[in-house]
Amino acid sequence: MGTLIRKATVNDAKQVADVINSVISEGKYTLFDRAFSEEEERAFILSLRDRSAVYVAAIDNAVVGVQSIDLFANFAECVRHVATMGTWLRTDFRGRGIGRLLAEESFRFARSADYRKVVIQILVDNEAALRFYRSLGFQDIGIARLHVRLGGKFHDEVYLEKFL
Ligand SMILES: CC(C)(COP(=O)(O)OP(=O)(O)OC[C@H]1O[C@@H](n2cnc3c(N)ncnc32)[C@H](O)[C@@H]1OP(=O)(O)O)[C@@H](O)C(=O)NCCC(=O)NCCS
């Protein structure tokens, strides 16, 4: 069974939302704390422009993983070379190199869209994600303390960066 990495289309909206929502329901890996509807996901995919993309990993036409790449901050031109990314895989499909395959496409896209680096924020307890991103060449910048409030509790976040 091969894994196909491709850009998401509006037709993937439901499956993309389902994958992200499955990670949200695990309750400890992502900053999103409420589920996305198919309509919201459809609107998001339609809103993507030349410097933002969503890639999906599909096995037998079923979406098992999602990765987004986008501008890190849109308040100033001077940081237009900085992207950010997020990755969500269904539990059964983790640890098989699918995240890495998605990242190869996202990095290729980011370079072609004139980004020079990617900055991400990972919850300090998310050891699998920290290992994943470090194995992709991300280096720690530092820890933002009590940066995220989830379920009434404040959490630290690790900031990491990778030059493209
Ligand atoms: C983090 C996540 C995206 C990793 O994707 P993945 O497909 O499982 O990772 P891969 O199989 O491509 O692994 C790539 C590298 O990451 C490391 N890695 C991934 N998962 C790991 C784990 N559970 N423990 C240790 N290392 C891990 C491995 O070192 C691997 O390196 P290798 O290719 O040299 O063996 C995936 O586990 C996930 O979706 N987690 C839940 C959501 C999340 O935390 N997202 C990140 C925040 S947005």
**Whole-number mean pLDDT of the chain?**
96
Ligand 1 center–CA 107 separation, angstroms: 16
Identify the residues whose C-beta falls under 6 Å from ligand 1.
23, 29-30, 86-89, 94-100, 122, 126, 128-129, 131-132, 135
* pLDDT tens per residue across span 10-26: 999 999 999 999 999 99
Ligand 1 center–CA 74 separation, angstroms: 28
| Within a domain: 137 | no
| Number of CB atoms found within 10 A of residue 84's CB | 17
| Within a domain: 133 | no
| CB-based contact 66:87 (threshold 8 Å) | yes
* pLDDT tens per residue across span 77-122: 999 999 999 999 999 999 999 999 999 999 999 999 999 999 999 9
| CB-based contact 1:60 (threshold 8 Å) | yes
What domain count does the chain have?
1
| CB-based contact 70:23 (threshold 8 Å) | no
| Within a domain: 96 | yes
Ligand 1 center–CA 159 separation, angstroms: 17
Give the range of the structural domain holding residue 51, as residue numbers without chain letter: 4-119
If one residue of 55, 94, 104 were mutated to test the ligand 1 pocket, choosing by the most ligand atoms within 8 A of its CB, it would be 94
